[in-house]
Amino acid sequence: MQPFAKSEEILTATALNSSKVRPRILAADDQQHVLEAIDLLLRPQGYEVETARSPALVREALTTGSYDALLIDLNYTRDTTSGREGLDLLSEVVAMDNTTPVIVMTAWANIDLAVEAMRCGARDFLQKPWENERLLVILRTQVELHRALREAERLAAQNRLLQTEGRPQFIATGPAMQPLLGAMTRVGPSDANVLITGEHGTGKEVVAHTLHALSARASRPMIAVNTGAVPEGLFESELFGHVKGAFTDARSDRIGRFELADGGTIFLDEIGNVPMHQQAKLLRVLEAGEVERVGSSRPRRIDVRVISATNINLRAACTSGQFREDLLFRLNTVEMHVPALRERREDIPVLAVHFLSRYASRYRRPVQGFEASALQLLMQYSWPGNVRELEHTLERAVLMCRGTEIERADLGLDSLRQHGQNLEDLSLESVEAILIRKALQRSHGNISQAAEVLGLSRGALYRRMEKYGL
């Protein structure tokens, strides 16, 4: 059997084909019969037309919708011929969005007015009464150019998603991942705080790295902190730093994670596990944009973008009094959800090939693909540990494989189907117990290693072990 795919050939699924969407045109003129004529001309040609009778209505339309092109008159007040109203409106439109083409119209055309309109940002100029064919040619050309530019921007963003170095590769081909991919493409370049939600092992940290790589802060560091694993007594020192003598073991000044991330991004993983009284201190830093090292009263200004992640329902935690609502508001300017692997099964073969290529190269094994039944098992398994479990499964399979293709037995997944019972038929607690038992077996009883694999703090893992009698 030939290799299923090559990881370097993996591409992110494309967005909706723009050619299937009717171009939206905003036409602005103070004369109703002119607007009706434009509508009658353009709708049969496949355009969606909206109209406005004044500059104020144009501004209102632009705040609530997006358009592929604007057709605007240069005169709106009766008996005016200067074109000043239209030129002012044109300047405002271009200032708001210089990518949307604007075509200006006037019944009192002259060279000076045309030159002034083009200088203000108009893409073309029409004299009324217009020639229908000329209007259609101009509009078609400008809409196609506008869409081509938008597509180029989208492809550039996707290319950055896939090819940015120094971070885990982001793989998303299934339909369930497209909302996340779209949100990342739009929000990544901004400085907005992002809260990433999803089960353990879904790849929340990969999303965080990708958002940072897409931002203007990409050349600066992204500092990751597993807040759930930081001992409570060291929380402030770890995040905010301390000065010499602040406490018994403070033998020298230490810079905190927020200061290390200055100018870049800080990633607060497992944010839902931060104790309430530490949440208040974290909120104060986010509100003030300043940190005070433990033992110091001198505030230090910081400029950081905050990306946080949790597998906990923080809104429910707010309702139960376990998480501060004001902190949640600070963290989730934008909230992004990473689907579980069972909800994006189309990605399983692509991810499997990616991990196979990685570990075959790392361990210098001649493994090139999957035997058919092995690939079928990968697709059928429920993956309670999500992408993290899939990665560990493939790492083991590469090591266990005797030939050039991974076989079903190499995966070690059949042992989890006791008496023919699929994990999907088990309770959440039973699945969690099995997953913890597997992690402990793989780490040979090393609690720290097992906790890291599971994405838990040592304390959280101990509590679950006690709960399930492990």
CATH of the domain at 263: 3.40.50.300
Q: Does the structure show a pLDDT above 60 at 13? A: no
Report if pTM > 0.85: no
Q: Which pLDDT belongs to residue 108?
A: 63
Q: Are residues 181 and 110 in the same domain?
A: no
Domain check: are 45 and 122 in the same one?
yes
Structural domain contains residue 1 = no
- At residue 154, the pLDDT reads 55
pLDDT band at 335 (very low <50, low <70, confident <90, very high): very high
**Cβ distance 279 to 323 under 8 Å?**
yes
Q: Please state, in angstroms and rounded to a whole number, the distance separating the CA atoms of residues 242 and 163.
A: 38
Query: Which range among 24-38, 182-196, 352-366, 430-444 shows the weakest confidence by mean pLDDT?
Result: 430-444
Read off the pLDDT band of 16 (50, 70, 90).
very low
Question: Which region among 169-178, 346-355, 371-380, 421-430 has the lowest average model confidence (pLDDT)?
Answer: 421-430
Statement to judge: residues 57 and 114 lie in one domain: yes
Q: What per-residue confidence (pLDDT) applies to 25?
A: 93
Taking residues 250-265, report their average pLDDT.
85
Q: Are residues 68 and 90 in the same domain?
A: yes
Together in a domain, 270 and 188: yes
Q: What is d(CA 53, CA 66) in angstroms, rounded to the nearest whole number?
A: 18
Rg (CA), the chain: 29
* pLDDT band (50, 70, 90) for residue 286: very high
Within a domain: 11? no
Q: Among 2-11, 105-114, 123-132, 282-291, which range has the highest average pLDDT?
A: 282-291
Q: Quick check: is 467 in a domain?
A: yes
Does 253 share its domain with 365? no
| Number of domains forming the structure of the chain | 4
Kindly report the CATH number assigned to the domain that includes residue 435.
1.10.10.60
Q: Which position has the higher pLDDT, 435 or 404? A: 404
More confident residue, 125 or 205: 205
Confidence band, pLDDT 50/70/90 cuts, at residue 431: confident
Assess if residue 350 is contained within a domain. Answer: yes
Mean pLDDT computed over 461-467:
74
In this structure, is residue 166 part of a structural domain? no
**158, pLDDT greater than 60:** no
Q: Cα–Cα distance between 188 and 212 in angstroms, integer?
A: 7
Instruction: For Cα atoms 232, 234, 240, give the angle at the middle one, nearest 5 degrees.
Output: 115
Tell me the CB-side half-sphere exposure of residue 184, using CA atoms within 13 A.
Answer: 29
Q: What percent of the chain stands above pLDDT 90?
A: 36
Q: Are residues 448 and 383 part of one domain?
A: no
Q: Are strands 334-337 and 241-242 parallel, antiparallel or unpaired?
A: unpaired
Question: Residue 156 domain-assigned?
Answer: no
In terms of domains, do 377 and 277 share one? Answer: no
257, 238 Cβ separation under 8 angstroms: yes
pLDDT over 50 at 387, yes or no = yes
Summarize the confidence of residues 346-353 as an average pLDDT.
90
Q: Could you tell me which residue, 464 or 365, shows the higher pLDDT?
A: 365
The domain containing residue 376 runs over which residues? 343-412
Together in a domain, 378 and 444: no
User: What pLDDT band is residue 426 in, cutting at 50, 70 and 90?
Assistant: low
User: In this predicted structure, what is the pLDDT of residue 249?
Assistant: 75
Beta strand extents in 259-414 (DSSP E only)? 265-269, 290-291, 300-301, 305-310, 334-337, 369-370, 405-406
Mean pLDDT of 62-82: 80
Q: What is the mean pLDDT of the chain?
A: 82
Q: For tokens 């990968």, what's the residue?
A: 378
Q: Supply the pLDDT for residue 430.
A: 66
Residue 282 pLDDT greater than 90, yes or no: yes
Domain match, 333 and 355 both: no
Domain boundary among 305, 337, 369: 337
**9 falls within a domain:** no
Three-state SS at 106: strand
Instruction: Report if residue 91 sits inside a domain.
Output: yes
User: How far apart are alpha carbons 451 and 446 in whole angstroms?
Assistant: 9
Tell which of 118, 151, 184 closes a domain. Answer: 151
Domain limit, last residue, from 386, 412, 438: 412
Q: What is the pLDDT of residue 415?
A: 59
User: What's the distance, Cα to Cα, between the start and end of the chain in Å?
Assistant: 42
Report the CATH number that the domain containing residue 72 is assigned in CATH.
3.40.50.2300
Predicted confidence (pLDDT) at residue 12 exceeds the cutoff of 70: no
Amino acid at 19: S
Same domain, residue pair 369 and 441: no
User: What is the share, in percent, of the chain residues with pLDDT greater than 70?
Assistant: 85
CB contact at 8 A, 143 and 69: yes
Q: What is the pLDDT of residues 22-65, one digit of tens each?
A: 899 999 998 899 999 999 999 999 999 999 988 989 988 887 77
Who wins on pLDDT, 155 or 364?
364
pLDDT at position 44 is 92
- Is the same domain home to 310 and 200? yes
Give yes or no for a contact between 449 and 419, defined as CB atoms under 8 angstroms apart: no
